[in-house]
């Protein structure tokens, strides 16, 4: 068995948006849409910038790892030449 009910809804005039913890403001529908669209566009820009920053950091980490390997290899070569390490160690 199912329950059937009819409801008519009225046109939405005001929208309540939660902006921060314990902060809720009421906006007209066009104002709320404009605010949400502005925030959405801002988030898109931030995501793009963060992706570029992550790419830059990934490149910097790779460069650092390569430089650390080169320093280690140079240290091993220097120790071998000074006689502190056997030739095949």
| 25-73 pLDDT tens trace | 999 999 999 999 999 999 999 999 999 999 999 999 999 999 999 999 9
Stretch 68-84: mean pLDDT: 92
Q: Buried (b) or exposed (e) across 34-70, using 16+ Cβ within 10 A?
A: eeeeeeeeeeeeeeeeeeeeeeeeeeeeeeeeeeeee
Residue 10 has a pLDDT of 76
> Is 19's pLDDT higher than 90?
no
> Is 1's pLDDT higher than 60?
no
């Amino acid at each position: 068995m199912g329950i059937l009910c009819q409801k008519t809804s009225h046109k939405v005039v005001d929208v309540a948006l939660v902006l921060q913890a314990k902060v809720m403001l009421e906006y007209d529908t066009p104002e709320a849409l404009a605010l949400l669209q502005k925030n959405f566009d801002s988030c898109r820009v931030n995501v793009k910038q963060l992706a570029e920053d992550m790419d830059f950091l990934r490149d910097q980490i790779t460069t650092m790892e390569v430089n650390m390997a080169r320093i280690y290899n140079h240290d091993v070569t220097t120790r071998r030449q000074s006689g502190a390490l056997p030739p095949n160690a």
